[in-house]
Amino acid sequence: VAITAPTGIAGMNIGGSTIHSWAGIGLGKETVEELVDILSDRAVQRWTDTRALIIDES
């Protein structure tokens, strides 16, 4: 289970991280193709291993 939030403060308050940080996309301003190319192996593994993604304050 991954616990995320849209902002850094909210992520810290729930003991998680921002959704962008967890996803490995930074600010996410690139195109989809560019984002796929820059995803680290660690981020891909995080996506693969996660069975439930909780996004607080959505």
The answer to whether the pTM exceeds 0.75 is yes
- Check if the beta carbon of residue 37 is closer than 8 Å to that of residue 57: no
Residue 47's nearest CA partner among 24, 31, 30 is: 24
Rounded Cα distance between 23 and 20, Å, is 5
Q: What is the pLDDT of residue 5?
A: 94
Q: How many domains, the chain?
A: 1
pLDDT band at 58 (very low <50, low <70, confident <90, very high): low
Residues 3-50 pLDDT 10s:
999 998 998 899 889 999 999 998 889 999 999 888 889 999 999 999
Q: What is the pLDDT of residue 20?
A: 92
How many whole angstroms from its chain centre is CA 25? 7
Name the residue range of residue 30's domain: 2-55
Q: What is the pLDDT of residue 36?
A: 87
Q: What is the pLDDT of residue 57?
A: 80
